[in-house]
Amino acid sequence: MNAILGRAALAIAIVMATLPANAKGCMKGAIVGGAAGHVAGHHGVMGAAAGCAIGHHEAKKNEKAAQSPH
């Protein structure tokens, strides 16, 4: 379990170092994606990058929905 968390943390650090500071949703997505990628075949870094992208996309979509008048 510690190995999974360590690799997820490393993947998050790599992803966060390459993204702008305003990447909302990235952290949660990177954690989930990194853990899933690691379990699915030791591809934690790729999972973290994909999770970050998806998390950021979802956060922007939710932000846009919250700003639009109903």
Q: To which residue do tokens 């690691």 refer?
A: 38
Model pTM score: 0.60
The CA–CA distances, whole Å, from 17 to 23, 28, 50, 62 equal 11, 15, 15, 24
pLDDT for residue 29: 84
CA 70 to CA 41: how far, in whole Å? 44
Domain housing 46: 2-67
Residue at 45: amino acid letter: V
Total domain count for the chain? Answer: 1
Q: What is the pLDDT along the chain (70 residues), one digit of tens a residue?
A: 667 777 777 777 776 666 565 567 788 888 888 888 888 887 888 888 888 888 888 888 888 888 877 6
